[in-house]
Structure formats: structure tokens, C-alpha cells
Amino acid sequence: MGDAGIPQDVDTAAVLACLTLEEKISLLAGADFWQTVPIPEKGVPSVKVSDGPNGARGAAFKGGPTAACFPASVLLAATWDVDAAKAVGNALADEARSKGARALLAPTVCPHRHPLGGRNFESFSEDPLLAGRMAAQYVQGLQEKGVAATIKHFAANEQETSRFTVDATVPERALREIYLKPFEIAVKEAQPWAIMTSYNLLNGHHADSNEYLLQRVLRGDWGWKGLVMSDWGGTNSTIEALQAGLDLEMPGPTRARAVAQVADAVRSGQLAEEVIDQRALNVLDFLKRLNCFVDPTIPDEQAINRPDHQALIRAVGSQGIVLLKNKDQVLPIRPEKLPKKKIALLGFAREALIHGGGSASVNAHYRVTPEEGLKAALGDEVEFVYSKGAHTFRQLPVLKDNVVDEKGQPGWTLRLTVAGSTAPTETNVAESTYTPVFIKETYDDCRATAHFTPTVTGTHYLAMSGLGRSKLFIDGKEVYEQDFNCPDAMAFMLGGFKEPETRFRFEAGQTYKIEIHTERPTEDSGFALFDGYLGFRFGFMTEEDHDRDLLTEAVQVAREADLAIVFTGHTPDWETEGQDQHSFHLPSDGSLDRLIEAVSAVNAQTVVVNSTGVAVAMPWLDNVQAVVQAWFTGQEAGNAIADVLTGAVNPSGRLPVSFPYALEDAPAYGNFPGEVIDGQLRVTYEEGVFMGYRHYDRNETTRATVLFPFGYGLSYTEFAWSDTAVARQLDDGAIEVSVEVTNTGARAGTETVQVYAGSTVTQTEQPVKELMGFTKVPLQPGETKTAVVRFSTTQLAHFDETTARWQLSGGEYTLSVGKSVRDIVATAGVSVEANSWLP
């Protein structure tokens, strides 16, 4: 599992024996944001880690050396191709090395519980088997090149709302069968070298000190041996977390593991030294796995733009794109069938929606927009015309033009009052570097001043937000007050905080004094690492720009074109770590929905290309000819999308999540993100195991609430399946299912064969059917192949909370073979004997 080539001459037990108690304790927390603590005099090296799931970003959250941006994990799952997952893992190992890192903080494997989950895009699927199989191969790809995978977030981290403090109440059966299962599959099939705990509480206990998770399940039931690290700032206790099995607190310097404090706990008998020894030994073994003892160097970060990675990103990106609708075969685009040879590109055509926000964001080497991709593919054959068509901004642009500080220099003057001091510290924020101000030291308050000379007269729009209670003054008059602290400092820093807007009339050429006063927060920031930090953001937009009628122009452009392609989706500030989705509808405030409705009313050949990591409402679906779900496609987004739209690639993506008609149809509706009880947000997973398609399959009523079912996707060719599936039990107890598939169309394509199983006798407490396995079948025109899927009978078992055992009910099971969970082409029966076993 990637151990090949790791030197065995480093005796970590002997290294441990040479360390003092204080030195051992020092290993149990990071040295800084990305590196562990070295002990050079004892020969103990440091290791560097890096975010994240779709690219190795390096040390800088923003900027820094550029990096390759790969497709998001939800797109990777949409390929249903485990080989693609392994190839991406291989490439990400190279990327991590280019940033001096030997551990990648990825993959994210928590299932998609609800369509509004803020980090769904960063994870794979609503189905634990699909998520687990993809994650296992991703891990294999990383670790066979000597870079550690860090699967996360363990466990029940299915929402961003109050993610640091929310208490998730999850029945053990649902935990075992749904929420822990992807981790279990990855652990047993790929043995990841590290696991990251989640921020939330699970059944009343923080994940980082949860003995059920870390001792009973992870190291006990699964027999896993590796390093457990906290999420950044997610260590919530000292003694309890150490005893439960949290090896490494990140980042450093430590907040919960002060060496003297932990040493006193050991010497007073509150904590056994054996616990410290085990935690430290796990850190040392981790360093050994990564060859750090032999080669302790941490190279400088590099921006290496590899052609083979570019090609892989484009290929995987197009492979994961899902064709949801294609009425009258409007796709692929055929220039010879366009009378005017004119195509309208609308919406996000000039923006590359390549990743979500937060830990998964990278400073990409480059970004190919859909317009650029299509022009490269068809530019000599058709004319492209563009119109934005809709306002989609979440925050007003920061005010940095036409402002000077109190000395007449571009930028703002900041006066920062140090706690306990009456003398403020004065500094300047230059125009060229102004971003939301984020003060990393402890101050009582921040007073920011700028002199603004507008160039346009009008009642313009302003938006101010503070990390701390804040007030906005213009020429000494209070214009707006934010009487609360920003609820999530991470969201504030990443730009995903929706700010209230206000208006103020400015006269062109007149200079106005703008002042912002922000007080040090007295509440927790929502992210422990940022507690006590100050910050503010001030946005500005002219009335003309803010209220401009973009829709009329777009409609006229669409009316004059043969084909109108509307590019919709989420920018990183709409879909991001730190908060759940603002709405099930596309942003902003229905503007993209209105754009599609208006365009489709004047152009019968309207295509929608949607780039989100989640299902979204599609009230316009019946009015458009085609819909393409492009997800977040990575830096080659425009080329990958163009490959599918033009037919250079025959779409083979299949949905890894169900698309409901409405938010109210989701199984977790009413239990997401929870309710506040005694001052704490609590969420109960009342749907149990009936999450995703398991819920929609329950009866005719729930079946009718699905817009597009799990596993669904169209092709530019046609496939015929035999109506007979052959099932047989193998000597090892496994079940093998086979079915013949023929490409009856005129072009090469790939079909995805999915095998589901469920008891032949309906049982209300059991899902109707569950995914057992899948395989991809590439076929030339006229070619027939036999698709074979094997799975273990243990996958038919369910967890019995009464006996705390896995129970396999004996009897007849129906095996359903199909193109999706709904489109079942063939069935077969199999009889199995009852059995039970401990986890």
C-alpha cells in the first residue's frame, strides 16, 4: 500500500526512547501552519503538509506559486471511473512534492446529506460505496508515490453551519452504513497514512476526543494504524483528546498542548505517559513512512505546469460532465446546421468556474473559460456573441479606486489601539494591495480612514462588514451599523459572507471622508484560530453598474443567434467552505433563472451548462433543449466543456447524487442545519439510512420528487442491453453479475453498468435497493461486450443496533442491473444464507 521503498533501518521505537517527556509532547502539535515540530539534536525531522482535495495549493491561502487545479471530487465521482481517481491521486502526489509537501490534506469523503451542504463539491457522492471506492483509489494513487493521503473529516461533517460547535445526533446504524462506510472502505482497501478529525460534535462528543470514533471504530474495529490529526484549530481539549487518540494538533504553535501543562498532567497522574508515547510513536512512524528521516529537506515551493497534468485534467473533466437533457439532439453542436453560423454565449461564459471556495481553492496556473474553449474548437466555423445577462455578485467590489489616506497617498489609514494602551498604532493599506483588512494581532479596535472622490454622481451602493461590531461614517455621519460579529471568520476571510447593502448619494468631484470603526470581537469568531482578530471589508458600486439592465441586452443577443448557451453556476463565494448554500436556486436572487427563462422564450435552441458542486433547482427545465451539468471542472474547464458540447468527447458522466425537484423533497429537509437548543445548534439525522436515493426509492410519492435520479446520464450514442442478467455465487462467497451491452449508435461511447441489490421481500426498515458495484464499458459502434460486476455478500448486511453486530438476513435478494437507480434494464435473483459478525 505504498510502503515499498520506505527505509526500514530507522527504528522509531529507539528514537522515541531517546526523547525526554517534554520532547515527546512537543511532537504532538504543529510547529506552524503547515509543518510539524522537528527535534534536530535528536535526529527528528519535520514534515510539511498542504491543502487540498483538487490541487496542492502550498502555504499561501491566496496568491503564492501557482498550482494545477484538478476537477472537484464530485466531478471525479461522476466519472464512475476508479482508474481516473487513481490517476488524479498520482498527479496530486507530484503536485504536493512541488510545494515541498509530503502529505496532502485530502480526500474529503463525507457523504452528501443535503443539497445545501457547503462543501459537497469537495466530497464525492451521496452513496457510501461510490464515495469509498473512489476515495480508495485516490489514496492509492497518492501513496504509491510516497505522499500521504489524509482522509477527512472524521466524522459526520455534513454541514458548514456552526461547523465548529454543532452537535450531530446520528443513530449508530446510519453511522455504520452511511457516514462511516466511505472511510471504512478507504481504510480497508487503501490504508491511508493519516486521518483528519472533524470540527463538530458527534452524539455529544467532539470528534477530536471521541473515543467511539478513534478507539472503538478506527483503531479497534477496523484495525487501522496511522496518524490522526486534527482539523486546523479543531483540538477542543487537552487530556481527553490525547487519551481518545488524537496524535497531532494542527496547526502550531499549540493552543491545547502546552508542553509544561501536559507534562504536569503526566507527572500528577492525570495522564499516563504511555499515552504520550503512543501518540509520539505514531508521529515518528508517519515521518518514517514519508522518508523524512533519510531525506529531511523541505524544498522551496515551485510552480510546475506539467503538460501531462493539463491533459489529465482536461480528460477527467470532460469524462465527469453529465448530459442531463438533449431534446431533438441539439447537442453536439454541428456548425453546418446553424443557418446564421452564430452562437450566443451568456452568463458565466467569460468566467472559469473551476473550483469551490475554501481549502479546495488554488491559485491555478491558468483558467480556460467556456468562451475560450469553444472559440478554440469552433472559432473558424461560427461567430460567437457574448452578453453577461445577469448580476451574480455576492459582495460589492472592494473600494480601492479614487481613495487616498490621510497623507494623500493611495489607500487607507489604519489606527489600531493595542489592548490596554491609549496610544494607537498608525499604518497604511496601499491601494494596490487592499483586500478585506484582517488583523492578526490582538487590538481593542481598528479605525480606518480614507478620502474618496467619486467620478460619477448618484445614489451609489455601499456594503460594509466587520469581524467585530462595526460602524460606517461618511463625513462624520453614521451611515450603517453592524451590531453583531461576523458569524464565521473563515467565511469573512474567504469572501463568502453576504453583506447588507446600503445607499448613499455622492456628487462627482467632491471628496468625502469615509471612516470605519471596528471593535475587537467579544464572541468566538466561529474559527478558534481567529478568535480575537479584527477585520473589515468595504464594498462600493455605482448605481449605474449595480442597477444596469443586463437582461434586455442578453435577450436581444440570444434572439439573433442560432443557438443560445447559458452558462450558470456558483462562483467560490457562493459555494464555499465556511457556510452552507444560500439557496437551492441559482444566484443571485433568481437572476440566472430569469436569464434562462427570458432567453429560452426568444430562442428555441437554448442550452444550459451548469457549474455547481450540488444539485440546484431547475424551474426552466421544460423550456430549454439541453442541460449539461459541468460541476467544477478544474483549470481546463473551458476546453473540457467545449469537448463535450462539440462532440469531441461523447459524454459518459453519471450523477453521483440525486437531483430533487425542490428542497422540500430532500430526505434531510426539516433536519438541516438543525435547531438551537440551550444555546447550541443540534442537528438530528432523523432520516437514518434513508439518505439520497434510498429515500427517493421508498414509495411512489418520494419517487416522484426526483428531477434526475442517482446514476443518471445521457450519451450521444445509444446502448442496447440484454434483458437477462446472469448471477452466480463464487467459491469465495462473492456474487458475480453479468449482462450484455451493445452500442447501437453511430459513434463510440461508454456505458456505466450499475448493480443494485435488495431483499425480494419488501421490508420497510430496509432500503429497496442499494448500490453493490459498477463498471464502465467502452464500446465502438456495433460492438457488444459482457459487463461483469462482482461484490461480496457482506455488502447485503445491515447493522443491528440491538446486538451491535452486522446482520445478513437469509433469503432471496433481487439484483437490479441498470443505467441508473431508476432505469433498471435487467434483474436476477440470488439466495444467501443468514450470517452475523462483529464490526
Q: Evaluate the omega torsion of the peptide bond into residue 591 and state whether it is cis, within 30 degrees of 0.
A: no
Residue 501 to residues 453, 498, 506, 538, 575, Cα–Cα distance (Å): 20, 9, 16, 10, 20
User: Which one-letter amino acid corresponds to residue 530?
Assistant: F
Proportion of the chain above pLDDT 70, given as a percent: 95
Q: Where are the beta strands (DSSP E) in 17-163?
A: 49-50, 103-104, 148-154
Q: What's the pLDDT band for 640 if we cut at 50, 70, 90?
A: very high
DSSP state of 622: G
pLDDT at 219 > cutoff 70 = yes
pLDDT tens, position by position, 270-329: 999 999 999 999 999 999 999 999 999 999 999 999 999 999 999 999 999 999 999 999
> What is the pLDDT at residue 498?
75
pLDDT tens, position by position, 174-185: 999 999 999 999
What number of H helices and E strands is found in the chain?
20, 40
pLDDT tens, position by position, 568-623: 999 998 999 988 998 999 999 899 999 999 999 999 999 999 999 999 999 999 99
- Residues in CB range of 821: below 8 A, 6 or more apart: 693, 697, 709, 710, 711, 754, 756, 769, 771
Q: What's the pTM value of the predicted model, to 2 decimals?
A: 0.95
> What is the pLDDT at residue 424?
64
**Contact between 430 and 410 (Cβ < 8 Å):** yes
pLDDT tens, position by position, 804-825: 999 999 999 999 999 999 999 9
What the block records as the C-alpha cell of 733 is: 462467497
DSSP state of 578: T
- The neighbouring-strand residues paired with 611 are 569
pLDDT at 3 > cutoff 90 = no
What the block records as the C-alpha cell of 153 is: 473529516
How far is the first Cα of the chain from the last one, in angstroms, to the nearest whole number? 23
Residue 383 to residues 2, 374, 390, 642, Cα–Cα distance (Å): 51, 11, 22, 15
- Establish whether 127 is a catalytic residue: no
**Contact between 55 and 364 (Cβ < 8 Å):** yes
CA–CA separation, 412 and 537 (whole Å): 12
**Contact between 194 and 214 (Cβ < 8 Å):** no
Residue 132 to residues 185, 186, 561, Cα–Cα distance (Å): 5, 5, 45
pLDDT tens, position by position, 372-405: 999 999 988 999 999 999 999 998 998 888 999 8
CA–CA separation, 474 and 504 (whole Å): 9
Cell 481539549 locates to 237
CA–CA separation, 550 and 548 (whole Å): 6
> What is the pLDDT at residue 762?
85
CA–CA separation, 623 and 634 (whole Å): 29
CA–CA separation, 776 and 754 (whole Å): 9
CA–CA separation, 671 and 697 (whole Å): 20
Largest distance between two CA atoms of the chain: 86
CA–CA separation, 318 and 714 (whole Å): 14
pLDDT tens, position by position, 57-92: 999 887 899 999 999 999 999 999 999 999 999 999
Q: What's the pLDDT band for 434 if we cut at 50, 70, 90?
A: low
Q: Is 682 helix (H, G, I), strand (E, B) or coil?
A: strand
**Contact between 388 and 369 (Cβ < 8 Å):** no
Task: Give the chain's domains with CATH numbers.
Answer: 45-247 (3.20.20.300), 320-391+548-653 (3.40.50.1700), 403-545 (2.60.120.260), 717-837 (2.60.40.10)
733 half-sphere exposure, CB direction, 13 A CA radius: 10
Residue 777 to residues 754, 787, 817, 832, Cα–Cα distance (Å): 11, 7, 14, 28
User: Which one-letter amino acid corresponds to residue 10?
Assistant: V
Using the Cα atoms of residue 313, residue 315, residue 320 and residue 321 in order, give the sign of their dihedral. Answer: positive
Q: Which of 231, 488, 593, 697 is catalytic?
A: 231
Residue from 521, 530, 440, 454 nearest 482 by CA: 521
Q: What's the pLDDT band for 5 if we cut at 50, 70, 90?
A: very low
